[in-house]
Structure 1
Amino acid sequence: MTTITRRLVLAQAGLLALGGLKPAGAAEAFPSRPLKIYVGYSAGGAVDAIARSVGQRMAAILGQPVVVENKPGAGTNIAVKSLIGSPPDGYTLLLAANALAVNPSLFQPPPYDLERELTPVALVGRVPVVFAVREGSAFKTLQQMVAAAKAKPGAVTVATPGNGSTPHLAMELFQHTAGLSLRHVPYKGGAQALTDVLGGHVDVVAVNALEALPLARGGKLRVLAVMSAEHSAVLPGVPTVAESGFPGFEASVWYGFVAPAGLPKPVLAQLHAAVQKAIESPEVREQLAAAGGLPLPGPTERFEQLLKSDAARYGKLIREADIKPE
């Protein structure tokens, strides 16, 4: 070894000892730069609000900024494809809802492979879907709505936020469970569906509890039943569908974080832990509670199982009912 080479080696060793130079191939500590959360819906909606609330808590936990980027369109497929095209390094996440499990069956050809192209990270929370009518409706209970639908198949109209939306699929599941024939009236969003129900143009609306809650509190809307397995704390006295004569029925909107496939296990573990801490915070719990929802802490495997079961359940329903995207 020449004198110059020996000096270079000694200088490099000194820098390494001081932390001033990393050896080739050394991984940087995670996270060392800002994180990004994609949302497949417009700003101001329920998923966007939850992403920002959880992201703010995660930033404090991880010690790095967390930025929310809205990528609406194509039933959330634009956001999912953007995520799949991102490096699997933990710096890009997607806050997804039920559409993530539904779209591979709803759209043909499938826009993505749920198991091969994505990594479930953690569930965040769940908000029930509700059946509701305008305050002046003749339907005072879910049983009365069912009786009317059985007396005249197809006569009872049900508005939803759109074909393939979670409330639409929940409505389809219910009519299969109850042996009914309801007439579906799809809209482009929950707001328009609610407007036409309030105006008396449609009999019933199936919608996210978050959207129905302000109108129910204002006395303009009567919630007939919540589709969750348990009562909603913000809709006291409203029965579940199961309590209304259909044991075992359950349909909710869930939210959860996913990452691209190939996410390193140590990074997955760190992100999962950060989400768990975030949803235990009073701020996130209060926001979910205000929407009638509940946090869903638990292992990543729980989210993986939910994705598989929802993909199978809704996939079967989409094929049998021949549901098409808008």
Structure 2
Amino acid sequence: MRTARRTLLGALALGLSALAPVAFGQTYPTKPVRIIVPYAPGGTVDAVARTLAVRLSEQLGQPFVVENRSGASGAIGSDVVAKSPADGYTLLMQASTFVASALLVKSQPFNIEKDFTPIANLGSVPLVMLVYPGLPMKNLGDFIKAAKAAPQKYTLGTAALGSASHLAEEAIRHEAGVDVQIIPYKGTAPAMIDVLGGHLTGMVDAVPSLLQHIKSGKARALAVTSAKRLPSLPDVPTVSESGLPNFEMVSWYGIWAPANMPADLTTRLNREINTAMQSPQVVQNLGAQAFIFSNTTAPQFGAYVKQESAKYKQLIEKANIKVD
């Protein structure tokens, strides 16, 4: 009798433990969710995160709150997520810089593969190079010519070391053979303030971050980093058209969670984020700014991250990019 009872209780316990993860994923979220953006407000990472957060809040009935934790080229905010519980209530919004900076900055307090769970690939955007409009240069060819004539005179800002913007600037510097200073900032907005004030020659960053300044005439676009010209900037040539053949670089964006996230919760979050990114509100908001949407599973995103890491490693070695 006792043996039979123990067997029954054991079976019930196993059954409940098997159901628990499913129930956890189905009931999530039951309280507000933080989306950590490891950069200052005003950049594309921040803008995409806020657009997504609004839709997820409506979709899931709980607040998704964007929290900016800038510093150390994104490492400070990212580390907050790495050290948080793997319960889905602290998420990381990051960009391709997350992967590239790991190859450049060896002293980071976390390991991307070991300390994070890839959740969803949101999509990508092309980059654009712009300069202070008071300068005489009208295109990338003019910039290269001026930089060759006056080494170290011109400066380019970057929102974060290891970002797609930083890599694009380094690649342009390497392929054009120019000696320009690249200055790191704590986000796109602080760098843009210096460009608008004429304290910084220019910068390369994602189109959504800089489009308003170009359209208003407060900054001059020299080239876009995509393979083709953009509908939003039809008169701006590509870098490839400007004398650096086959040049192409985009910035992509994704959501990560701490390591060891329950599989069912990872799947649930991936599904909800993909649904939110395909909503008419988000498509209209981001699509108008040259955002190219993605729709992949969490494992597919993980594989993509590894593929991009290999590509960045090759570029970093080729251009001899180093971070002091």
TM-score of the aligned structures, taking structure 2 as reference length: 0.80
Q: How far apart in 1 are the matches of 2:198 and 2:77?
A: 36
3-state secondary structure, aligned to 2:251: strand
Change (3 A) 1:283 1:167: same
What is the one-letter code of the residue matched to 2:205?
V
Contact 1:104 1:112 in 2 (8 A): no
Q: Cα RMSD between the aligned structures?
A: 3.2
Per the alignment, do residues 270 and 190 of structure 1 end up closer, same or farther by CA in structure 2, a change over 3 Å counting? closer
Q: Which amino acid aligns with 1:296?
A: S
Deviation at residue 51 of structure 1 after TM alignment: 1.8
User: Superposition pairs for residues 257-268 of structure 1, below 5 Å?
Assistant: 257-268=255-266
CA distance in 1, matches of 2:198, 2:143: 15
1:114 corresponds in structure 2 to 112
Equivalent residue, structure 2, for 1:210: 208
Q: Does 1:183 align with 2:181?
A: yes
Residues 160-204 of structure 1: per-residue CA shift (max 9 Å, x gap): 345444423320122223333323344444344334434444433
In the other structure, the counterpart of 1:241 is 239
TM-score (norm. length: structure 1):
0.79
* Structure 1 residue 225: Cα displacement: 0.7
Does residue 25 of structure 2 align to residue 30 of structure 1? yes
Looking at structure 2, the residues matched to 62 and 193 of structure 1 have their Cα atoms a distance apart, in angstroms, of 35
Q: Aligned partners of 2:66 and 2:197: how far apart in 1?
A: 36
Residue aligned with 1:167, SS: helix
> How far apart, CA to CA, are the structure 1 residues paired with 2:85 and 2:180?
45
Structure 1 residues 259-310: Cα deviation after superposition (integer angstroms, max 9, x where no partner): 2222333332222222221111121122223444222223445533442244
Q: Which residue of 2 aligns with 1:285?
A: 283
Residues 1:173 and 1:30: Cα distance change in structure 2 (over 3 Å): same
Q: Is the 8 A contact 2:73 2:159 kept in 1?
A: no
Unpaired segments of 5 or more residues in structure 2?
Answer: none
In the TM superposition, what are the counterparts of 1:122-137 in structure 2 within 5 Å? 122-137=120-135
Q: What is the distance in 2 between the residues matched to 1:64 and 1:31?
A: 14
Shift of 1:63: 5.1
Question: C-alpha offsets along residues 203-262 of structure 1, whole Å, 9 cap, x if unaligned?
Answer: 333233333222211122210111133433322221221232323322233210112222
**Structure exhibiting the larger radius of gyration computed from Cα positions:** 1
**In 2: Cα distance, 1:46 partner to 1:314 partner:** 20
Q: 1:93 corresponds to which residue?
A: 91
User: Secondary structure, in 3 states, of the residue corresponding to 1:30?
Assistant: helix
Look up the match of 2:321.
Answer: 321
SS where residue 146 of structure 2 aligns? helix
Q: What is the CA–CA distance in structure 1 between the aligned matches of 2:314 and 2:271, rounded to whole Å?
A: 34
Out of 226-235 and 197-206, give the one that drifted further: 197-206
In 2: Cα distance, 1:30 partner to 1:163 partner: 36
Q: Kindly, what percent of the aligned residue pairs are identical?
A: 38
Among candidates 51, 58, 62, match of residue 49 of structure 2 = 51
Conserved? CA contact 2:214–2:221, under 8 Å = yes
Q: 2:156 is matched with which residue: 151, 155, 158? A: 158
Amino acid at match of 1:101: V
Match of 1:104 among 82, 86, 102: 102
Label 1:194 to 1:264 Cα distance change in 2 as closer, same or farther (>3 A). closer
Distance 1:116 1:293, change over 3 A: same
Whole-angstrom CA distance in 1 between matches of 2:186 and 2:78 = 20
- Asked whether the 8 Å contact 2:101–2:161 carries over to 1, the reply is no
Q: 1:165 and 1:53, CA in 2 relative to 1: closer, same or farther beyond 3 A? A: same
Counterpart of 2:219, as a letter, is L
Aligned to 2:72: 74
Who is 1:12 aligned against? none
Counterpart of 1:180 in 2: which secondary structure? coil
Separation in 2, partners of 1:185, 1:85: 29
Corresponding residue number in structure 1 for 2:224: 226
In structure 2, relative to structure 1, the CA distance for the partners of 1:72 and 1:195 (3 Å cut) is closer
Indicate how the Cα distance of structure 1 residues 243 and 64 shifts in structure 2: closer, same or farther if over 3 A, else same. same
How many residues are treated as equivalent by the alignment?
309
Given the superposition, is the C-alpha separation of residues 299 and 162 from structure 1 closer, same or farther in structure 2, using an over 3 Å criterion?
closer
Aligned equivalent of 2:269, options 268, 271, 275: 271
Deviations 1:45-102 (A, max 9, x none): 5323322321332344445543333333333223322322333343432111123213
Contact 1:234 1:289 survives alignment (8 Å): no
**Mapped pair 1:311 → 2:306:** no
